Amino acid sequence: MTRAISLHDVSKTYARGVRVVDRLSLDIAPGEFLVLLGPSGCGKSTVLRMIAGLEEITDGRLLLDGEYGNDLLPSERSMAMVFQNFALYPNMTTRGNIGFPLRVEAPQADPGPRVDATARMLGIEDLLDRFPAQLSGGERQRVAMGRAIARHPTAFLMDEPLSNLDAKLRNHLRAEITKLTRELGVTTIYVTHDQSEAMSLGDRVAVLRGGVLQQVDTPRAVYALPRNVFVAAFIGTPRINLLRGLVRAPLDGAMTISLGKQFLRLPEPLSLDHQLLRVQQGREVIVGLRSEAVRIAKPASARPGEVLLTGLVEHVEFQGHEVLVHFNTGSQPAVVPDLEAPRPGARPAGRRRRDGTVLNRLKERAGALRAGPVAVMDEPGVARPAAGPAVAAPDGRLPGDLIVRTTPDIDLRHGMQVPLLVDLAHLFVFDQHGDRICPAPARLPDLEE
């Protein structure tokens, strides 16, 4: 049997009013594999522990198969949790560790058959008589998973189970987890800060920031249509290029987005998404371009929908199967604050405007209700360093404002000026609060949300 899990406006507040989860609503279907993704301290493990019954829910409701579950003891929820640190009993063999919860649940029953079946499923039959100290990290994690699987739970709750393993072993166990959960058909909630795990494992991915749910959708949709600039920046390797832009929409000329020294000319006739950008006339926006949306090619080879930029090579990263080229296009980056920090800061008071219409003031108020700003602009007028060797900026970013993915056979050197073709079909535009405005959201935001 598997289980449906629903969270309705669930919050968690610790002492001194520290709220780590804020009004989270999420429905998980029976048999679904849902990944909770976000930076360290965003509240994803707390959500998992509230579902397991290890943390008390401060506000909101937890429904298990449609029934109220806030007050159920962990033992009454029939869920199995796999922890990051394996949590094996050092004085028990593999057989003893896997069979321990079975002996607790039914002291008179023989756990042997279920232990053997679980060991065969995980390929650890030859490890049943070894102690944890005699096992490698990957073998111990298999034992920990076996202990969870042997119980035949209604849901698996996995809290970063692969984070302590090396990269090669993580990839191998990731495939095993996918295969096992598909075969067992058990509802699985998997917590991670690794976007590669989230994208490869989950039926859906729920992205959290500062205890607030930012977006939940399929991995493909989260990557292709991020709801805001935080999701766009957190999902994807290398990170999406975020540039400050200014929309120019004259009545008697082509619409452009100025990027400082250069601009993107939107092709005519304008697409519906680009037409909607007219309301941003004269406003600063954030332009998002993933590395695959830009290619190195001569202007004569431009395809329909591609426009020309010019970039100065500042750094070349050879990855073996591909090359990442860092360009300086004369643009100013927009950055996502607190991308790796626990919680976003409060919106600066100076951002609120009192001189607009009632509708604009309502929009500002609606924006202020979010979990802080998800993007900020770098200070204008900051002089960029002259071309020179690639040196990391104080925040860890390499010089340049645009990263382009290309093939390893290309020969580029520092200081070369290169033509770039930007595919505007893959252009993202975000407003100053970080919400996506192009492509247009399927549903316009409600001012009361």
Q: What is the 3-state secondary structure (H, E, C) of 332-383?
A: CEEECCCCCCCCCCCCCHHHCCCCCCHHHHHHHHHHHCCCCCCCEECCCCCC
Cα–Cα distance for residue pair 415/404, rounded to 1 Å: 16
Burial degree of 136 (CB within 10 A; 0-12, 13-18, 19+): exposed
The whole-number average pLDDT for the span 146-159 is 89
Position 357 confidence tier, pLDDT thresholds 50, 70, 90: low
**For all residues of the chain together, what is the average pLDDT?**
83
Most confidently modeled range among 24-33, 146-155, 382-391? 24-33
User: φ, ψ for residue 125 (rounded to 5)?
Assistant: -60, -35
Which one of 101-115, 345-359, 430-444 scores highest in mean pLDDT? 101-115
**Among 346, 372, 341, 370, residue whose Cα is nearest residue 41:** 341
Q: Which fold has domain 5-228?
A: Rossmann fold (3.40.50)
Mean pLDDT of 288-312: 93
The arithmetic mean of pLDDT across residues 310-328, rounded, is 93
Percent of the chain at pLDDT > 70 equals 84
pLDDT band at 393 (very low <50, low <70, confident <90, very high): very low
pLDDT at 336 over 80: no
Residue 152 confidence (pLDDT)? 86
Reduced to 3 states (helix: H, G, I; strand: E, B; else coil), residue 33 is strand
Report which DSSP code applies to 59.
E
Domain with CATH 3.40.50.300 in the chain: 5-228
Q: How far apart are CA 109 and CA 107, in angstroms?
A: 6
pTM, 2 dp:
0.82
CB atoms within 10 A of CB 96: 18
pLDDT of the residue at 23? 95
308: confidence class by pLDDT, cuts 50, 70, 90: very high
Residue 440: the pLDDT is 85
pLDDT tens across 272-296, in order?
Answer: 888 888 888 889 999 999 999 999 9
Q: Does 333 sit behind a cis peptide bond, omega within 30 degrees of 0 on the bond before it? A: no
- What burial class does residue 262 get, using C-beta atoms within 10 Å of its C-beta: 0-12 exposed, 13-18 middle, 19+ buried? middle
- Whole-number pLDDT of residue 46: 95
Residue 259 vs residue 392, higher pLDDT: 259
The answer to whether residue 339 scores a pLDDT higher than 80 is no
Mean pLDDT over 321-325 rounds to 92
Percentage above 90 pLDDT, the chain: 52
